[in-house]
Amino acid sequence: MPSIGNKLKHLAASETSLARQVRSALVGTLFASPASLIVGALTCSFTAGTIAWASGSFALLLCSIAIHVVGILRVVCYVAYLRAGEDDVRQDKVYWERLYEIGAWLYSSLLGMLAFLTLIWVGHNVLALMASTTAIGYGAGVAARNAGRPVIAIGQLCLSTLPISLGLAFGPDPLGWILAVLIVFFVIGIMDISLQIYEVVYSALSGQQEKVEVAERFEKMARSDMLTGLDNRLAMQMRLGELLDTIDADDDLKIAVIWMDLDHFKTINDTLGHLAGDKVLIVTSQRVKAVLGDRGWLARFGGDEFVIMAKVDSTEEAQAVGEEILESVSQPVSVNDNTIEVGASLGIAVAPEHGRQSEAILKNADIALYHAKNDGGKKVRCFEPFMHEDFLMHRQIESGLKRALERNEFTLLFQPIVDIETGLTKSFEALLRWKHPELGQISPAVFIPVAENAGLIGDITKWVLREACTAAAGWPSHINVSVNISPALLKQTELPVTIIETLVNTGMVARRLELEITESVLLDKSPNTNSLLKQLQKMGLRLCLDDFGTGFSSLTYLRSWEFDTIKIDKSFTRNITESTTDQKIIKAVVQLARSLRAFTVAEGIETAEQLAGVREAGCSHVQGYYYAKPMPAVEALARIESEFVPEEGQRAAS
């Protein structure tokens, strides 16, 4: 008894926590053996009919008819289950279980009633034996057959068998009473067997289901991005392949692939930490999904790269979708009381116009993305054929840069910065030049951005610093050298260490090295950048604000930083003789620099008229072809020696 009690408790607990797939499998066992159901129905119907005919009892006749009707209905129900679609059966498992349960309990009740009435009203031992053995055999059989749903099985066993005990208990024969008790014990034993079978089946199915769930979980993990819950690269490529296959079946269908990359995402991670970066990625994915709705699919390709796939009618529609996404993504994101400005670049390729294979369409979307980022970011660009050649050129330049230092392909030239009053050289700007073995001379305006994006600018700048300081260390102490520093390097904490090592190894004095930075660095307002610039100034290095006036100039950072030099961009000096506006701007900059005790350098001076104009405006120094083109270190030294006057050499460096 305690064993059955524990099993019944386990049954109750397992029924409430039964997994849907396990329940579905267990319900399926009810309809698993059509032969036993049909044979049992025929046997019971024949026995009931025989007892009703032999006894002549009207009550038993009604009971026999009911058994026939219910048996037929159960067979019809079974046929309907077989004809139902597999998906419909899965969705309506509870319905089919309840339908079977009602029929089974009704049928068992009728068999139990048949046995009870035969024992009470019919004084014929053979008929009583027929009714009792049929009911007991049916109860024992279904207890095993339906053990997968023990509530139904035990209900059938009790409803068909216990009425026999009740009929025997009402009889006058003491032997019948003993048999009634024995039948009760028999029912208890069969119940225990049925519950034992259920536990075995339940454990087997649960273990199998657990394996299936683990496999499904690992499969989902393999195809999902853990941070955002989006499809990952593998799932995206599979989905894209399926979408592209549909193009062959529908000539009017177009598939847009939009490759999105967040602008300056590394800066967010470096300044605010990876948790802030993760929050930006999650919010971005949510925003893109909200824009797409049911129009397309979103996947995280890796890092801060996302790929959007959508069915469109035209390239124009794809462009419009990209613009919607860009507008949504570009909204600020709040992270721990910090407001992060988010931008993105999007490249679009549309199949079949830009390719029918997933590799080709992704490659062309990536090429369009490259042009969007190359245009300054926060752009949506759709692939055009000419982009492919530009992209190949970019890759060729990038691969060439990786080997340029090893092959000694870089050269460093020096352009004089001249004192406008004396005409003597006061400093040189170090200018990097690169001659590609196949492409020839490449402008720094072309290869420097490539080096920055490829993460190569650090090694290149280290080389430039070493070459510039090595050359300048042999110059007189009043001649300085200036080196352009990429904004990307000012976000890296190792720059001061690199400069210190260079100064120590070359014997260069820190005060003679001037670092040229652009306004964009200061507008970034990065805490790391500000801290690094302060370190550089404490080391004694000079700071030069390059190309002043071409960016988003602000007097705020001029007040915050002590610049030694302010360079006036050549876009102002070029038309100084014709444009009164440019003249006024240059004069204003000169007055501002004087108030800040900074020198001014007018860039791009090529004619005597331009020189006269900047002289009149009050500039202290000039730089340009009028005095000299960029030259090798040997020629720079010769120029210095030709100008050198002993008393000049004794003066303090300007």
What are the pLDDT digits (tens) for 479-529? 999 999 988 787 777 888 899 999 999 999 999 999 998 876 765 556 667
Statement: residue 542 has pLDDT above 70: yes
Residue 332 preceded by cis peptide, ω within 30: no
**Spans of all domains in the chain:** 2-217, 233-383, 397-645
202 or 174: which leads in pLDDT: 174
Please indicate whether residue 588 or residue 481 has the higher confidence score (pLDDT). Answer: 481
Q: What is the pLDDT of residue 623?
A: 95
Structure tokens at 74: 């159960």
* CA 121/CA 144 separation, integer angstroms: 31
The band of 202, judged by pLDDT with boundaries at 50, 70 and 90, is low
Please state, rounded to an integer, the average pLDDT across all residues of the chain: 80
Across 218-227, average pLDDT: 66
- Interacting residues of 639 by C-beta distance below 8 A, sequence separation 6+: 416, 425, 628, 631
pLDDT (mean) for 312-339 = 89
| 188 CB-near residues (< 8 Å, 6+ apart) | 1, 4
Average pLDDT (82-98) is 65
Residue 1: what pLDDT?
Answer: 45
Q: How confident is the model at residue 19, as a pLDDT?
A: 44
E strand or H helix that includes residue 80: helix 58-83
Most confident of 78-82, 536-540, 575-579: 536-540
Cα separation, 64 vs 68, whole angstroms:
6
Tokens found for residue 507: 């014997």
Q: Among the residues of 294-443, which ranges form H helices?
A: 315-329, 358-374, 385-404
User: Of 569 and 95, which is predicted with more confidence?
Assistant: 569
Tokens of 528: 């790391």
Q: What is the mean pLDDT of residues 430-434?
A: 95
pLDDT at 139 over 90: no
String of b and e for 562-585 (b: at least 16 CB within 10 Å)?
Answer: ebbbbbbbbebbbebeeeeebbeb
Q: What pLDDT, on the 0 to 100 scale, is given for residue 383?
A: 92
Please give the pLDDT value at position 650: 42
Which H helix or E strand runs over 302? strand 296-302
Element (H, E) at 348: strand 344-351
3-state secondary structure 536-587: HHHCCCEEEEEEECCCCCCHHHHHHCCCCEEEECHHHHCCCCCCHHHHHHHH
Stretch 57-61: mean pLDDT, rounded? Answer: 82
- Summarize the confidence of residues 348-354 as an average pLDDT: 91
Under the banding of pLDDT at 50, 70 and 90, the label for residue 546 is confident
Residue 64 predicted with pLDDT over 60: yes
**Percent of the chain topping pLDDT 90:** 29
DSSP code, position 50: H
Least-confidence region, from 31-45, 46-60, 103-117: 31-45
**What is the distance between the alpha carbons of residues 190 and 162, in angstroms, rounded to a whole number?**
12
pLDDT of 72 reads 80
**Cα separation of 503 and 228, whole Å?**
47
Token pair belonging to 355: 């390719």
Matching residue, tokens 């068998």: 161
As a dihedral over the C-alpha atoms of residue 143, residue 145, residue 151, residue 154, rounded to 10 degrees, the angle is: -10
Residue 146: what pLDDT? 62
Beta strands in 456-495 (DSSP E): 480-484
- In Å, what is the CA distance from 302 to each residue of 225, 236, 259, 372, 502? 9, 11, 11, 19, 37
Distance between first and last Cα of the chain: 105
| 107 vs 574: CA distance, rounded Å | 105
- Dihedral of alpha carbons 482, 486, 487, 491, sign: negative
Average pLDDT over residues 12-37: 56
Residue 242 burial class via C-beta count within 10 angstroms: exposed 0-12, middle 13-18, buried 19 and up: exposed
To the question of domain 233-383 being in CATH 3.30.70.270, the answer is yes
Mean pLDDT of 216-224: 58
Interval 284-295: pLDDT, tens? 999 999 999 888
Check for a shared fold between 233-383 and 397-645: no
Q: What pLDDT does residue 211 have?
A: 58
- The pLDDT, as a whole number, for residue 221 is 54
Residues in contact with 149: Cβ distance below 8 Å, sequence separation at least 6, in sequence order: 26, 27, 29, 30, 97, 101
The per-residue pLDDT for 652 is: 39
pLDDT band at 179 (very low <50, low <70, confident <90, very high): confident
- How far apart are the C-alpha atoms of 100 and 78, rounded to whole Å? 9
pLDDT digits (tens, 9 = 90+) for 353-367: 888 888 889 999 999
Give pLDDT, residue 25.
Answer: 57
* pLDDT in the model for residue 552: 47
Lowest mean pLDDT among 116-120, 255-259, 368-372: 116-120
Percent of the chain clearing pLDDT 70 (strictly above): 80
Among 84-93, 224-233, 645-654, the minimum mean pLDDT is found in 645-654
What letter represents residue 205's amino acid?
Answer: L
Spell out where 420-501 has E strands.
425-436, 440-442, 480-484
- Confidence band of 273 (pLDDT split at 50, 70, 90): confident
User: Mind spelling out the 3-state secondary structure of 383-402?
Assistant: CCHHHHHHHHHHHHHHHHHH
pTM of the entire predicted model: 0.55
What one-letter code names the amino acid at 43? T
Give the pLDDT score at 3.
58
The CATH T-level fold of domain 397-645 is TIM Barrel (3.20.20)
Q: Which residue has the higher pLDDT, 327 or 488?
A: 327
Q: Which of 51, 37, 42 is nearest to 103 (CA)?
A: 37
Provide the pLDDT confidence category of residue 637 given band limits of 50, 70 and 90. very high
Sheet containing 380-382: order of strands = 296-302, 305-312, 254-262, 344-351, 380-382
What's the pLDDT at 554? 52
